Chain A
């Protein structure tokens, strides 16, 4: 699939923010993991988040569906503010899908049951409808013939595609990807990235933590570069890759592109 700059701008209007983060702080004990992150994501926007390890990029996207609690500042997702209120958290989690580095499929359930679990128990969908939806999604990620197998019987790339289907089955408005290809063998990275590209084409709002710079360049509307718990550079991919402004991003790019 070749880069199509045209689709990047689809379905977004500048006045339509879906995620608003204001001065988000997070501590692990005395360690200051996020230091006042502020950014706004528009509906349909594709954001790639990169940066050295320990820079807080994973922590940041995990605060958006409250897998990590933030200790200061505000996070507003689709008009709902994340607070300690369990109802708000559950409402936001229904609208935000997440894909993990380690897939985190449920090993005791078949692929089909992994995908129907959310729709049946959270969305209260009828099992038959949920299974139909699951089969459509498996078709979309290219593995409809694996529906009756258990996750442990699939390759890493297939498992990650099931994980994407599982998140999509909730029909989320936002998809979070936390290093989705980092645990994969090189020959399986492409099959997962292809699915993510297709998803980007469809207009989904995506936040992707990744080291796949080719993917970032091709798909991202905006790149957030994290260092030491904050965004140090925020730019469109063209600017970021050809003319990085910050000393730290220049160093990072030279290391990641010429290793």
Chain B
């Protein structure tokens, strides 16, 4: 078993506290480091004025005027409350979970308060402001509630929360999609979804569907039955051998040929393509984890009388998955970013919408602002995922020590 080295707290010695000494020690300690320092400073000095000039002339009106479009695409404007309700659901669940898993109260309540202040003072219209404030309140209230409930019965409420997360995915899908003939939630087909909403829907559906599929494929590849093993191996290797973009094209063209009786929406075809693609990579990650579980663990489970499925679910998978958690999260992050490829098959997710905004002559020459905004949005979500994974690793690492 690998024992993680405990992080040593950085000690500030008097030597490093003195800035001149620090600079001499870290930037000019050898002749080549001095050279690099001088070159880097010169490059920065050359670039800085241009950057400043661009920032001075940047016009963010292109982003603020198209904010709704960038975030929601062509979702019916009178139905936007459904997206807000979905946001409220997710953020309240985040709050509850943070409270239940002993998140830092100052950080969570503080973040909610800062967000609420921004929502009050920012340039929002009345309904948006209300929903934003409601969401902030949802996070804060969820946090306190999660703390309170788990202080009372921890194991029970944590299990309830996991169940709520699982249920939230179909619930949000239903909320967004609605159904035909409903006056409360009239049907809004996936073709009307766009912008960040579509990006997130594609990413979440891809993650939620490819995770179990990938586990099954990994188990299949290690199966004792040759037929299953060959099918799974062939699938994994074929999918890994082609780029996502070709799978997306194939999904657009082939699915209607295979299933001519159903009119499958373009967005659903993209979801299928992304899921099938991601599952193959997920399978290889999980397989790595499965190989790392020592034989003795399985023997001990068998010796206790656990059957094959119990051994897999209680002993092997928990250890395998936590061992490859960083790789899995890394894959989810690239899946999120890879959703931008659906722009090529004509879907208007975040990047697609951005390009269509730029096609409007009103916003001629504002590429930098728009792409910077898009990049920032991707960064926020990717970075949140990786920091959440780091927290999770620390929490789960307890068992390894």
Contact = CB atoms under 8 A, between A and B. Distances in A.
A88 interface: no
Contacts of A166: 304
Interface stretch (B9-17, B53-61, B92-100, B294-302): B294-302
Contacts of B318: 108
B296 A152 contact: no
Given A118-B306, A121-B306, A170-B304, A104 B401 contact: no
B296 to A, nearest CB: 4
A137 interface: no
Interface in B375-401: 396, 398-401
A208 interface: no
A107 B400 contact: yes
Contacts of A96: 303
A153 B296 contact: no
Interface stretch (B31-39, B165-173, B307-315): B307-315
A150 B303 contact: no
B300 A100 contact: yes
B149 to A, nearest CB: 20
A83 interface: no
A97 B3 contact: no
B299 A67 contact: yes
A197 B1 CA distance: 30
Interface in B315-332: 315, 318-319, 322
A220 B304 CA distance: 25
A100 B294 CA distance: 13
Contact of A109 (B296, B303, B307, B399): B399
B22 to A, nearest CB: 39
A108 B401 contact: no
Contacts of A117: 304, 306, 314
A86 B305 CA distance: 11
B399 A152 contact: yes
A94 B304 CA distance: 7
- Chain B CB within 10 A, most for which of A90, A93, A97: A93
Contact of B305 (A90, A102, A106): A90
Interface string A50-68: 0000000000000001110
B294 to A, nearest CB: 8
Contacts of A65: 302-303
B305 A94 contact: yes
A256 interface: no
Nearest to A101: B296
B314 A121 contact: yes
B322 A108 contact: yes
Contacts of A102: 296
Interface string A99-130: 01010111111000000011001100000000
Interface string A136-179: 00000000000000101100000000000011001000000000
A241 to B, nearest CB: 31
Given A100-B296, A104-B297, A106-B297, A118 B399 contact: no
B302 A152 contact: no
B310 A121 contact: yes
A120 to B, nearest CB: 10
A162 B322 CA distance: 23
A145 B86 CA distance: 46
- Chain A CB within 10 A, most for which of B296, B303, B314: B303
B276 to A, nearest CB: 30
A47 interface: no
A77 interface: no
A143 B326 CA distance: 35
B399 A150 contact: yes
Given A100-B299, A104-B296, A117-B314, A150 B398 contact: yes
CB-CB nearest 3 A-B residue pairs: A104-B300, A98-B303, A118-B304
Interface of B: 1, 3, 294, 296-297, 299-307, 310, 314-315, 318-319, 322, 396, 398-401
Interface of A: 65-67, 86, 90, 93-94, 96-98, 100, 102, 104-109, 117-118, 121-122, 150, 152-153, 166-167, 170
Given A100-B296, A108-B399, 13 more contacts: A65-B302, A98-B300, A104-B296, A104-B300, A105-B300, A107-B319, A109-B399, A118-B304, A118-B306, A121-B310, A152-B401, A167-B304, A170-B305
10 contacts: A90-B307, A98-B300, A104-B299, A106-B297, A107-B399, A117-B314, A118-B306, A150-B400, A150-B401, A152-B399
